[in-house]
Chain A
């Protein structure tokens, strides 16, 4: 077992958004702060740092976790995906497109965490019911939308998948 002083930075090797990254962190730094401060992945948001709001949710080995309740050093040997990995090049992922089309975000602060939870849900259950979506989303707090359009977006993506209509500004006006 390795022992470290509190002011001693520890080396970590992790696969982050498809790339092997080597970095060193203080043992007390949360994974959320590590991803933000050490790797510049500012899409990871912290809303409460108590594991309640879910804004910091990311995928660790494809499972959704609270990055505020994990330490940066615990990322060693893990595969991590953040919201920055979702779009390909300059085009949104169809799930992101669905969020935009259904107005499933307003201030956008909870969005990264909700996308991570949604990805994990859809990987396990590609055809969820609205009730199942609401159940799984209940660990992600959103203060702006009232949730309904988030459920709409996830259901649309689940039902239509890649066939989702790309939403441009001149796109699907009502």
Chain B
């Protein structure tokens, strides 16, 4: 299968911490983000959003808004519906319930923040002025906010979803009763992970410019998935795709939130077509917290059976995903629990698994992808239970994991969910993490602190990560989609290299790391390589999601380079009078293997291919430009582990992270500095999810955390310095042995933070299973066991 061919790349630039080439623009205010796109005659959008969680629109009066100064147009849902039904989102799964999310609600409103009218005006301020003049008459309907209760109620959150059930899956249903009956101990818990918002510092935005004279539609989108957006615009708006271009400017963080098709994007296109002028939609922070895809809200009812030696016998998980009112596109709510249960056992040998996933509709903003997606929640439940089992058996958290991780001699190991694990460093990770933490010393320190009235806790998490996600991985995760990317490489007449790719960055460093890959693919210095990205005119691809860009970058650039290199080798073979197979390219030179004297500049070979026909072999194809696709032949699994130490203040019940450790094995690292930046950033987000962040809805479905004053993100005082160690197990399926890792920390750090809180409280007989572990939740848990009543005196 040629799309999975692994091209040869000799790491030279790969593996070095080269400073990023995109930094000068970002450091000087010169980079242009979506809100900086200004076009002649451009108009601005503001959207009226529903104040109720569930209702039926009786009437909307827009006459006063239309008369406001600067207003060019006001639409309600009836206007948008006449042009586009909405975003249909389904998956080819038996029993999956598709939803169609209207661009603006026109009949049933399903969550607070859903758009119900739009104003286009000369400025955003004028558009907002007009919003205040729109009168909406809405009949309120019963509200469904609790996913666990939604299964049993007759009230529907969305009339299109019978019994509030989008999809129920149970692919692995091993009989586990016997294992639990025979187990020395079983540990169980019901873990609630919070509904969170990825909260990139830059909100979402989109600019559209339709030119009726040429029939072209040019879109600027702060998206992680430009090709996908382009095709969806073509399908949903029935717009000829070849006349569409999606341009991605600098993007101020995405983290999955910008890996969706947003209703506002289609709406902006329609408005530009309608008005014949460029139209800009830049949401504010409140809109982002109300309406941007939310994430992570799962209830994992999990149990683990363990024998008297600490060996895992069976795992049982029943997970409910609080899916919100519609299916996001392309991920649907299956991105949470459904995907999570298929990898829940991964780093460990667990012979029996019984897992069920329910995706349940509620009157909330649709759930979508956020870094680590549905892997974070079950990983948290599992790792906290493993710590609990270790405590019950008197084993260290490292020792119990050592006894259960998949080892060298187990490869290839097939998990009960069906994943074949071929390589990795699970045991080495446990050992290295233990040494970094200084486990024995920590326990002494913990005891001393306890005597001083301070609670310290250590949490450990070992993970594996399905990275470089392509068709194979998507199929394994029960997302039956085909995906591949392409890249084009061109060797210019002067020997410089131009690469065009569909991979876009939202801060992960692709302009630098892809240049490192391309430089090594041709054996040229990095300054001779340029990366063109950010326009769908360049290349196609699924986008930057699912820790896939390093893998697909190496795969696509490697394969395209190999085609061009073959042609250059043919010319060089004639010029150097050698066999093409003996021609090598390194250091900007082309030479004959084992004969350093026979050499010529890379640029001279390129020049000959372009301008000197006499040097061409017979039937030579002189095109030094080629496009190739890539899709890995199997799952590319990365792995690692995290350890976190927290201290809980007994007076304030505030949990503070004291120290964090990470071990990462993402195969061969392209740029260790960038890998470490990804780890640190992900770990900070993990701390946020477990100690600080929560989108809170009241019983009427009102979102009561709609600013950064209520929705707390980690600051420089919440995140300590982080110690990182690397292991490198190359993937044989990817050029250079590269694996992905962008999501690793958000898969595993939440588990380590949650474990640390539980370890700190275990000595008081207290467990926290609902997150974030806010001071209030810790206070309530301590109050239940009477600790707070004793005037902060420890039961020593």
Q: Which residues of A contact B (CB under 8 A)?
A: 7, 26, 28-29, 36, 41-50, 52-53, 55, 82-84, 86-87, 92, 96, 99-101, 103, 105-112, 115, 133-135, 137-151, 167-174
B32 interface neighbour in A29, A42, A92, A171, Cβ under 8 Å: A42
The answer to whether A84 and B28 touch (CB under 8 A), given A108-B250, A149-B677, is yes
Could you write out 12 A-B pairs with CB less than 8 Å apart? A42-B32, A44-B29, A45-B202, A49-B284, A52-B708, A53-B285, A105-B26, A107-B506, A108-B25, A141-B713, A147-B716, A174-B16
B110 → chain A, closest Cβ, in Å?
26
Judging by beta carbons under 8 Å apart, are A146 and B684 in contact? yes
Additional pairs, 18, CB under 8 Å, beyond known A43-B30, A103-B20, A140-B716: A47-B252, A53-B285, A84-B28, A87-B27, A96-B27, A103-B676, A107-B252, A107-B253, A108-B23, A111-B26, A138-B716, A144-B677, A146-B677, A147-B715, A169-B19, A169-B21, A174-B17, A174-B673
* Residue from A41, A139, A143, A173 within 8 A of B18 (CB atoms): A173
A145 CA to B506 CA in the complex, in Å? 13
* Distance, CA A153 to CA B770, complexed state (A): 37
Q: Please measure, in the bound complex, the distance between the C-alpha atom of A112 and the C-alpha atom of B191, giving whole angstroms.
A: 40
Residues of A within 8 A of B309 (CB): none
The majority secondary structure among interface residues of chain A is loop
Q: Given the complex, which residues of A lie within 8 Å of B526, measured CB to CB?
A: 169-170
Chain A neighbourhood of B284, CB < 8 A: 49
Complex: how many Å from CA A103 to CA B23? 9
Q: Which 5 A/B pairs are nearest by Cβ-Cβ distance?
A: A43-B29, A108-B26, A107-B507, A109-B252, A146-B680
Q: Which residue of A lies closest to B24 (CB)?
A: A92
Whether the Cβ atoms of A106 and B509 lie closer than 8 Å is yes
For A86, what are the chain B residues with a Cβ–Cβ distance below 8 Å? 27-28
Asked, given contacts A149-B677, A174-B672, whether A83 binds B20 with beta carbons under 8 Å apart, the answer is no
A109 touches B202 (CB 8 A): yes
Bound together, the chains give a CA A14 to CA B31 distance in angstroms of 25
Most buried by B among A52, A103, A140: A103
Measured CB to CB, the nearest residue on chain B to A40 is B38
Binds A, one of B457-465, B633-641, B717-725: B717-725
Residues of B within 8 A of A151 (CB): 716, 721
C-alpha gap A110/B284 in the complex (Å): 16
Contacts A103-B677, A106-B677; A171 near B19 (Cβ below 8 A): yes
Contact of B722 among A36, A82, A83, A148 (CB under 8 A): A148
- Interface of B, helix, strand, loop or mixed by DSSP: loop
With a cutoff of 8 Å between Cβ atoms, the chain A residues found around residue B680 in the complex are: 145-149
Q: How far is the CA of A46 from the CA of B286 in the complex (A)?
A: 13
Q: Is B35 an interface residue (CB 8 A)?
A: yes
| B675-687 interface bits toward A, Cβ cutoff 8 Å, 1 = contact, 0 = none | 0110111111100
Looking at the assembled complex, report how far the CB atom of B47 sits from the nearest CB atom of chain A, in whole angstroms: 16
Whether A43 contacts B28 by the Cβ 8 Å rule is: yes
Q: Which A residues are CB-close (under 8 A) to B673?
A: 103, 174
Enumerate B697-735 residues with CB–CB distance to A below 8 Å.
707-709, 713, 715-717, 719, 721-722
A-side contacts of B203, CB under 8 Å = 47
Q: Write out the residue numbers on chain A whose beta carbons fall within 8 Å of the beta carbon of B24.
A: 92, 96, 100
Asked if residues A107 and B201 are in contact (CB atoms below 8 Å), the reply is yes
Residues of B within 8 A of A138 (CB): 715-717
- Establish whether residues A144 and B709, one from each chain, have CB atoms under 8 Å apart when the complex forms: no
Chain B residues, Cβ within 8 Å of A144: 253, 507, 677, 681
Asked if B199 CB lies within 8 Å of chain A CBs, one says yes
* Nearest A residue to B509, CB-CB: A106
Report the bound CA distance from A48 to B509 in whole Å: 25
**Structural contact, A46 and B35, CB atoms closer than 8 A:** yes
Residues of A close to B682: CB separation below 8 A: 146
Indicate whether A143 sits within 8 Å of B253 (C-beta atoms), given known contacts A42-B32, A106-B507.
Answer: yes
Q: A145-B681, A148-B680 are in contact. Are A55 and B201 (CB under 8 A)?
A: yes
Q: B200 an interface residue at 8 Å Cβ cutoff?
A: yes
Residues of A within 8 A of B685 (CB): 143
Assess the A101–B26 pair: CB atoms within 8 A: no
Chain B residues with CB below 8 A from A45, complex form? 33, 201-202, 252
Q: CB-CB contacts of B197-208 with A at 8 A, as 1s and 0s?
A: 011111100000
Determine how close the nearest CB of chain B comes to the CB of A83; give it in whole angstroms: 4
| B579 close to chain A: CB less than 8 A | no
Which A residues are CB-close (under 8 A) to B27?
83, 86-87, 92, 96, 99-100, 105, 108, 111, 115
Q: Considering the chains assembled together, what is the distance between the CA atoms of A151 and B717 in angstroms?
A: 11
Most buried by A among B20, B506, B707: B20
The reply on B527 being an interface residue by CB < 8 A is yes
Chain B residues with CB under 8 Å of A92's CB are 24, 27-28
Q: How far is the CB of B753 from chain A (nearest CB, A)?
A: 13
> What residues of chain B lie closer than 8 Å to A46, measured between beta carbons?
35
Taking a contact as CB atoms under 8 Å apart, the answer to whether A107 and B251 are in contact is: yes
Q: Which residues of B contact A145 (CB under 8 A)?
A: 677, 680-681, 684
> Which of A7, A100, A143 meets B23, CB within 8 Å?
A100
CB pair A108–B722 under 8 Å, yes or no, is: no
Bound CA span A26–B124, Å: 13
Give bound CA distance, A48 to B199, whole Å: 10
The CB with the most chain B CB atoms within 10 A, among A100, A148, A168, is that of A148
A168 to B20, CA, bound (A): 9
The CA of A139 and the CA of B526, in the complex, are separated in Å by 38
Q: Which residue, of A47, A84, A87, A138, has the highest number of chain B Cβ atoms within 10 A?
A: A47
Residues of the A chain whose Cβ atoms lie less than 8 Å from the Cβ of B304: none
Task: Tell me if B228 is interfacial: C-beta within 8 Å of chain A.
Answer: no
Q: Is the CB of B684 within 8 A of A147?
A: yes
In the assembled complex, the CB of B693 is this many whole angstroms from the nearest CB of chain A, namely: 11
With A42-B36, A170-B527 already in contact, the answer to whether A49 and B23 are too (CB < 8 A) is no
Chain B residues lying within 8 Å of A49, measured Cβ to Cβ, are 284-285
- Hey, which chain B residues are within 8 Å of A135, CB to CB? 716-717
Residues of A within 8 A of B592 (CB): none
Is B741 positioned at the interface, with any CB of A under 8 Å from its CB?
no
Docked CA distance A83–B26 (Å): 10
Q: Contacts of B26 on A, CB cut-off 8 Å?
A: 105, 107-108, 111
Most buried by B among A115, A171, A173: A173
- Evaluate contact between A146 and B16: CB separation under 8 angstroms: no
Q: How far is the CB of B95 from chain A (nearest CB, A)?
A: 37
CA distance A167 to B708 in the complex (A): 35
Q: Please, how many angstroms separate the alpha-carbon atoms of A105 and B252 in the complex?
A: 11
Question: Is B300 located at the chain interface by the 8 A CB criterion?
Answer: no
Question: In the complex, A115→B26 CA distance in Å?
Answer: 11
- Closest-CB distance, B94 to chain A (whole angstroms): 39
A135–B35 alpha-carbon span in the complex (Å):
30
Write out the residue numbers on chain B whose beta carbons fall within 8 Å of the beta carbon of A41.
29
Are A50 and B708 interface neighbours, CB within 8 A?
Answer: yes
B508 within 8 A of A: yes
Tell me the minimal C-beta distance from B6 to chain A in angstroms. 26
Is B125 in the interface zone, CB < 8 Å from A? yes
